[in-house]
Amino acid sequence: MKSTRQHTPLDKLLISADTVLRTLVPGAAEPYRPSPARDEPEQDMTAQERKHAAGLMRINHTGEVCAQALYQGQALTAKLPEVREQMDHAAKEEIDHLAWCEQRIRQLGSRPSLLNPMFYGLSFGIGAAAGAAGDKYSLGFVAATEQQVCKHLDDHMQRLPYNDQKSRAILQQMYTDEEQHAEQALDAGGIRFPVPVKMVMKLMSKVMTKSVYRI
């Protein structure tokens, strides 16, 4: 039987705190699906190639940290219950991406970005503001964000070392999921953001990618 219990403010606070910890504490994120890289053999790469691949995967990991924060912020302020549920569902799939990316970063001999807490906080605030502006804007922001992420993923798949098929398999599945999230957000009533807004989002994304690649 489906529970009809409503979450109290304390329940919501504890759930949010749990999400923050699972997002930011290394190794805390548990994927719902197995990694797409599990059946791909580890190929030989030079030290420079491994460092480059780790930098790209670190960017993608931080992107997933930001996605978690955005969805949590939007779910907190979304008006319609079905919109909040959609945010929660998308956030669960993003947990898979988060865990897959961190696992791959470790396999490449590196670590997630030290800047993740800062980007989480900024993204949560943006998400909450978007949700407060109205569900159509919140969903539109999801769509625009996911479209931007897909562009990054496509670029990274081209820039990965040729032998790094494990990372490429992860990014390919992420691309499929993110593209679906964008379509679902638009189908649910999200507005299409104008080009100037997308340009600002692209500029902010560049700041993140340039800093996280090394730090």
Q: Binding site for Fe cation: residue ranges? A: 64, 94, 97, 146, 178, 181
Secondary structure class of 124 (helix, strand, coil): helix
CB 129 within 8 A of CB 72: no
Tokens of 104: 């791959």
CB 113 within 8 A of CB 58: yes
Calpha distance 84→78 (Å, rounded): 6
CB 127 within 8 A of CB 69: yes
Cα dihedral angle (199, 201, 205, 207), rounded to 10 degrees? 80
Calpha distance 158→208 (Å, rounded): 19
Which one-letter DSSP state was computed for residue 40?
S
Residues making up the annotated binding site are: 64, 94, 97, 146, 178, 181
Which among 180, 174, 155 has a CA at the least distance from the CA of 37?
174
The distance from CA 44 to its chain's CA centroid, rounded to whole angstroms, is: 28
Calpha distance 117→132 (Å, rounded): 23
